[in-house]
Chain A
Amino acid sequence: MQAWTDLVLILVILTNLALAGLSSFGTCVRVLAFQGVLLGLVTVGVQQGDLSLHTLVLVAGIVAIKGLVFPRLLLRAVREAGVRHEVEPFIGFATSLLIGTLALPLAMWLTSHLPRVGPAVPPLLIPTAFHAILIGLLLIVSRRKAVTQVLGYLALENGIFIFGVGLVRQATLLVEMGILLDVFVAVFVMGIAIFHISREFDHIDTDRLSLLKE
């Protein structure tokens, strides 16, 4: 069981790296959808066998929302914005990938300095969570298009989710439902915002929104 969970976590890290290095919105959204499915698996793996009904409902919810609903919404937003690729990011794709790789040891180092969460938590869980958060922040900071920033936000949210799975393994339903709702609203709002920004300004370059700073 442990080995399977570790494998899933490694896959999450790889998807993170893919997010950092890919330029096509469509692919990124699909990678994120895959990551959503992986999160469901992580939740199962962390439970170590004793699967309750509520865990199953939670997993189904995660997979449905992160794996199906969000991607559909985002793909629609991408289609309507009429932009397919991230262009000229502040930090190039290769550099992003490099930073993403370096973020992994940083995440490991951070974890090693944190108090131990307990023997039952897989050792890779917390580093993966940190890594996802760092990648999310990286995407938000380094990309121009609003769509990528939404993706970064979702990656960051996934990281927090993994963190939550590791820390509160029981009675998570309420917390997780809260998080899912948050994200759902956030994506909804951002989707609408992107749509409207692109309609008003003919582009979704957030750096060119600096006119609004006054």
Chain B
Amino acid sequence: MNTLLVVVGAGLIASGGLLALLASRWPRWATGIASGTTVLGCGLGLVPALRVLLGATGEEVRLRWSVPNGDFLVAMDALSAFFLVAIFSLCALAAIYGVEYLQTYRKHKSLGPPWFFFNMLVASMVLVVIARNAVLFLVAWEIMSLASFFLVTFEHEDEGVGRAGWTYLVATHLGTAFLLALFVLLGEGSGSMDFVGFGLAEHPVPRHASLLFVLAVVGFGTKAGFVPFHVWLPEAHPAAPSHVSAVMSGVMIKTGIYGLLRTLTFLGTPPAWWGWLLIAIGLVSGILGVLFALAQHDLKRLLAYHSVENIGIIALGVGVGLLGLSLQSAPMIVLGFGGGLLHVLNHACFKGLLFLGAGAVLHGAGTREIDHLGGLLRRMPWTGWTFLVGAAAISGLPPLNGFVSELLVYLGGLEGVRSASTSHMPILVSVVAGLALIGGLAMACFAKAFGIVFLGEPRSSKAANSHECGWCMRLPMVILAMACAAIGVLGPLMVRLLVPVIALVTGMPDEGVRATTASPCTILGAVVGASVALLLLTVGLVILRKWLLSGQTVSRTVTWDCGYAQPTPRMQYTASSFAQPLTRFFQAFLRPRISLVRPVDTFPASASLATHTDDVFREKVYSPVFRGVARVVSGLRWFQHGRVQIYVLYIALTLLALLLWKLD
């Protein structure tokens, strides 16, 4: 019954999308149908997903499907249910948000297609995590990629958006190619494309298993956004409409993590180097992601780089867990996988929230350029304060949710340092150190983003005339902000909820996992308690301040007023200048292009500074490779010359050659 309900929910969402497409001529109807069915379908699916997470079973559902080797076989276990909770919650909120957000486009664009693709994206993500047959999985995966591609190219008139779309399409298909190889190899081993067979197949020889693991890391890592497969991410996420960015960044890239975890359940005991590989990927993704985020001037692009960073943290967690599996250290396993998994949910909350906030800024002020904004907190208080909550959460500050999952990974790393042999010491120490570096840089980055966008004085007339969004957009942000706080405060409870998921991924018994979570939960409880106390103290001080000031006149003046006869907004820090000390320090990695016209003489006439930070991997790795491929391939253009006669000659010669070859 549970799985069936989820399937019905997904079907409802998909058919709602289809109806919205048919109702394209009436935008009000299209919007209503699509968002309504999404909310309804998500609600319908959320209940059984939670039930399964709490211990109910999700039965197998097999429908007729006449595809060779394929079978419409779906089921739900704790792992699926966990991802479903994230998908359903965030997608429902994004659908509500989209109702108002897309209204801006109503005048010059049809709203049917974006809603159709949005609903298809949601339904296909659901199908991806419940599919139990490789062919069905790949079909759902492909629908997911295509639906998101069409959403990314929603504003395709913009040249940059078109390029982003193509980058995404190429990247996602290269990733799928690896997955195809992975599933073919898995299917070859078991003789069936059902997932059940993969797990039961006699343990593959280690080299073979390692090949499968690498295929999975590349294939799923491309979707998840592991460095160096992340290049599509900072292009595609800013280009999509904001509620889609929230869904893509919050849950769609997590399907990559889901796929990786699901594959791990097929592969048996991992050798230690798998853990090393994931930890290395996690460190590189985390640190480079946050560094590039620091150097961005576009609010959504900055957030997209933070997705890379957070995927890095998830990879770190999974890596620590894998290393624990090969070292047979229960605390490392539970803390690593637990931290990684919880961060999946947490990232869905706060990154969803931040992208929705960025969308509200774009909606209200009409620009994503951080340097054109400023002073929005007074004009958009709801967006501003919820964004602040999200920013604190993503920086890993207690008592919000980001802290809980990062703490688990920290504890896993420390546990490893304490117990593991000396040969694994360096990598585990670097986990702890890397996480600290990532957390610090993330905080700096969000101090910049929040400070420049919401504090100070407006830097342009757009920012000065910005307006707060309506309730359709406010409500999802408020709910997500509350979720961030709730998960943070209820950290120990969340860890307990994760027990069956961890048990399923690692093959440990439930009781063992539960017993291991006891001590980190105590630590969590203590830290959260202390930070709640601190928070209450702060609130108390604020109230005290209000009370003390209540009898006196308090005047407000512009920010940066001290000592200036004529302050202008241009005196403020810009995004570049705020981040300059850090970007300069990491110049070797970032390689920013700086064009500087210095002021000369006593009375300088003009001076200017512009910095631009390209993605190093895009510029230095992929561009040369693809240019080389294009050169080689264009060398074959003489082959395609447009003469029908010669084309037929090709066919005739091929046939003749085949005939002659087969004769003897």
Q: Give A residues with C-beta under 8 Å from B.
A: 90, 110, 113-114, 137, 140-144, 149, 206-207, 209-213
Contact = CB atoms under 8 A, between A and B. Distances in A.
Contact of B642 (A110, A142, A211): A211
B640 to A, nearest CB: 6
Given A209-B642, A210-B641, A212-B642, A110 B648 contact: no
B156 to A, nearest CB: 21
B644 A113 contact: no
A140 B642 contact: no
Contacts of A213: 640-642
A143 B643 CA distance: 11
Contact of A114 (B641, B648, B663): B663
A142 B646 CA distance: 9
26 contacts: A110-B659, A110-B663, A114-B663, A137-B648, A137-B649, A140-B644, A140-B645, A140-B648, A141-B645, A141-B646, A141-B648, A141-B649, A141-B652, A142-B645, A143-B645, A149-B644, A149-B645, A206-B643, A207-B643, A209-B642, A209-B644, A210-B641, A210-B642, A210-B643, A212-B642, A213-B642
A141 B186 CA distance: 46
Contacts of A212: 642
A142 B649 CA distance: 9
Interface residues of B, number: 13
A117 to B, nearest CB: 15
Contacts of A140: 644-645, 648
B652 A206 contact: no
Which 9 residue pairs spanning A and B have beta carbons closest together? A210-B642, A213-B642, A113-B663, A137-B652, A141-B649, A140-B648, A206-B644, A141-B645, A141-B648
B664 interface: yes
Contacts of A141: 645-646, 648-649, 652
A196 B288 CA distance: 60
If over half of A's interface residues share one DSSP class (helix, strand or loop), that class is named, otherwise mixed; here it is helix
A209 B645 CA distance: 11
Nearest to A210: B642
A76 to B, nearest CB: 22
Nearest to A149: B644
Given A110-B663, A141-B652, A90 B645 contact: yes
Given A141-B645, A210-B643, 9 more contacts: A110-B659, A137-B649, A141-B646, A141-B648, A143-B645, A144-B645, A206-B643, A209-B644, A213-B642
Contacts of A211: 642
Interface in B490-528: none
Contacts of A210: 641-643
Nearest to B649: A141
Contacts of A207: 643-645
A142 to B, nearest CB: 7
Interface string B621-664: 00000000000000000001111111011001000000100011
Nearest to A130: B659
